[in-house]
Structure 1
Amino acid sequence: MATVHHWTGLEARALRLALRLSVRAFAGHLGVGIRTISKWEALLAATAPRPDTQAILDTALARADAATHLRFETFLSETARPCVPSGRAMTSGPLAWEYESWADDLERAAVALSRQDFTFAENLVSRWTNRFRSLRLDDRGLYLFARSTTLLGDLQRDQGSVIGPLSAQRSYVTARSLFTQLDIPRRIAQLDLSLAVVAEMSGQLEAAARSYEHLAIDDRLSRRDRARSRLWVGTALSKEGQHEYATRVMLAATRDFEDLTEPEDWSVAHQKIALAHRGTGDLSSALHYIGIARSTATTDTPMQRVRLDTAHGHILLSDPATRDDGLHVLGNAAIMAARFGLSHQLASIENVKAMSTGPSGPFSR
């Protein structure tokens, strides 16, 4: 039977995995707080439980059956692997149980990102990308590293860091290279789609539209991603002033989302169609479609609220009769964008307001 002379977070995590318990269940099993378990798992060998808790862990291990002891010893034996040279430093790849933790952190990071909790999401991702070098990872580790880098790109994109050394574009290119090395076509195509979004956000509308057109018929992508590509073809065309053709393209994407039962994408498509109608001067249709988008949105994240309010405010601002209402809606959207660090959306709001009052704006004299 295994024994532990001095428990650290490393041994505690090995015991949890050997018992096949979640963090919450393990906390209940030991009678300690969930935060205590989370601290052990975050710091591993850099932290040690208090003496009374060491005794609790001793008891939990002693009462475990033979199969649990075998799993526990297996997990611990992996911690004794020799380090691998990597340049000037000595590093080792993740242990088997660390892969599980890494994957869990990425799922948590994705949820945090969807809620615009950027700091927490970045902490979850960077704890792994800062710890390991991609060149020294096996295929499983490389896959997780590529997913981490993709999430980092999503985070940078949502914060408005689109191009440059520390930007979404740089992260997406790195992730694409890793997935190419792993030969995973679907992930490569998804990164191509993300890079097209970055091109559009940085003003490269013609290049973005061409990329979207190719991806809209790319069999490497799911039908949903192909429909999104078609929607974004319309978005890029609308930004270039081709509003009528853009509307037709986006309506086709809307029908795909309806067939696929993707209510959120369907709602977003109506938001885009509303802006295209605003571009043609058909404000009645624009208000109709933005009304559908606002009433059918299935998520209520800060990002989605800001995007909907920006589109709604833009349409209201296009009519002198509703100008004040538009400024009010855009003001609230700006407050929300600033609160959550949505710098790209904040810049878009300021651009909409500037266009409405500029020399060629609808209220210029």
Structure 2
Amino acid sequence: MATVQQWSGLDAWALRRALRMSVRAFAEHLGVAVRTVSKWEKLGADTQPRPDTQAILDTALARCDAAAQLRFETLLSEAGRSIARPRITTAGPRLWDFESWTDDLERTVAALSRQNFTFATSLLNRWLTRYEPRSLDEKGLYLYARSTALLGDLQRDQGAVLGPLSAQHSYAQARSVFTQLDIPRRVAQLDLSLAVVAEMSGKLDLAAHRYELLATDDRLSRRDRARARLWVGTALSKDGNHDYAARVMATATREFEDLSEPEDWSVAHQKLALAYRGAGDLTGALQFIEIARQTGTTDAPMQRVRLDTAHGHILLSDEATAGDGLAVLSRAATLAAQYGMSHQLRSIEGIRLKYERPTVPQPR
């Protein structure tokens, strides 16, 4: 649990933001005047609440749930502060720019979850084109690296995988900055993203090897390690090793169940369905894809396209349901085109071509 030895106005600001409260609501929550909170936030790290208020802030932080605690630590980290030791920081004019930058990163994540690429691009370019990395201090570099990593996510979802303006380039740049800042968890997450790029570009053996290493990498969270294990199976399945892939994916699926991660659990069933299809077990494939379709909770266009693509691929594998499969793929293609998902469109077109039947000339 996060603790603070000596509260400053900056720490109080981070706690308010972590609790997602307005200045007025936060003041009422603490039992202090609104003008007191406003003063803290105006003076930032240059002011310290009175001793009795320090205790009130300690209690408010201790009562935060885990999500709010994490947001509090992240906000202070992004503001260049550390937890549980005395801090002397001079709040410069950039502090408020960095607050706006942090807000824009949160909005970018939300935009990417809806595949709103235009809005996400505008938010990221607002900051990436404003500052040169060499002009930034540590907190600025942290935000710059986060922005660059999110740009990589955007480029990956759009299908720009390789090249100078690609996900691979952005991920490598972000990884370099996080290495410079000595933040191992972020470096490992970028290693995971680069493995995804390798898989998407067809380097299946390389991707599988990287996933295997990351699946046991203590720098990653347990959830990210489970994802790496799932993606080992994905790369193996794409390379034709369907039986072993299914066993690896099943292990990851159980891990997501233990972690109570329903969305990852649903995605794992989708990937299991494709492995079973590759192995020729269409009954098992249909059972798994049905679980994925029934349990998926997201309305994100990307996941809907992936689900429909997998479902259509399975249906196309059986002549009796091939017509339904083409209809489902057409629906996926329409949605992918609407949101500019070129990589998904290429995958759908590849599936269609694989099952396209040549036209037999009719006798005259």
Give me the TM-score of the superposition, normalised by structure 1.
Answer: 0.75
Residues 181-330 of structure 1 mapped to structure 2, 5 A cutoff: 181-330=180-329
Structure 1 distance, partners of 2:98, 2:166, is: 26
- The 5-angstrom pairing of residues 1-365 of structure 1 reads 68=38, 72=42, 95-357=94-356
Counterpart-to-counterpart distance in 1, 2:271 and 2:293: 12
Name 2:72's counterpart in structure 1: none
* Amino acid in structure 2 at the alignment position of 1:321: A
* C-alpha distance in structure 2 between counterparts of 1:219 and 1:23, whole Å: 31
8 Å contact 1:268–1:293 — kept in the other structure? yes
Provide the residue aligned with 2:78 in structure 1.
none
- Cα deviation, residue 25, structure 1: 6.6
**SS state at 2:160 partner:** coil
CA contact (8 A) 1:169 1:195 kept: yes
Distance 1:302 1:190 in 2: 24
Q: 1:94 to 1:105 in 2, by over 3 A?
A: farther
Find the aligned partners of 2:261 and 2:20 in 1 and give their Cα distance: 33
Distance 1:210 1:67 in 2: 52
Q: Which amino acid aligns with 2:185?
A: R
Shift in alpha-carbon separation, 1:74–1:242, aligned structure 2, 3 A: closer
Q: Are the equivalent residues in 2 in contact too, given 1:196–1:212 (CA < 8 A)?
A: yes
* Runs of at least 4 residues off by over 6 Å: 20-26
Q: Percent identity?
A: 66
- The structure that has the greater radius of gyration is 1
Q: Does the 8 A contact of 1:212 with 1:233 survive in 2?
A: yes
Query: Hey, what's the Cα distance between the residues in 1 that align with 2:201 and 2:296?
Result: 26
8 Å contact kept, 1:277–1:285: yes
Q: Counterparts of 2:35 and 2:252 in 1: how far apart (Å)?
A: 56
1:358 Cα deviation after fit = 6.7
Cα distance per residue 1:249-285 (max 9 Å; x no partner): 0000000000000000000000000000100111000
8 Å CA contact 1:94, 1:141 repeated in 2? no
CA–CA distance in structure 1, aligned partners of residues 220 and 44 of structure 2: 39
With over 3 angstroms needed to count, the CA separation of the structure-2 counterparts of 1:178 and 1:323, relative to structure 1, is same
319 and 179 in structure 1: CA distance in 2 versus 1, 3 angstrom threshold: same
Q: What's the CA shift for 1:149?
A: 0.3
Q: Structure 1's 321 and 141: CA in aligned 2 closer, same or farther, altered over 3 A? A: same
Unaligned runs of 5+ in 1: 1-16, 27-63, 76-92, 360-365
* Separation of aligned partners in 2, 1:240 and 1:308: 20
Q: TM-score, normalised by structure 2?
A: 0.75
Structure 2: tracts of 5 or more residues without a match: 1-12, 24-33, 46-91, 359-364
RMSD between superposed Cα atoms in Å = 2.3
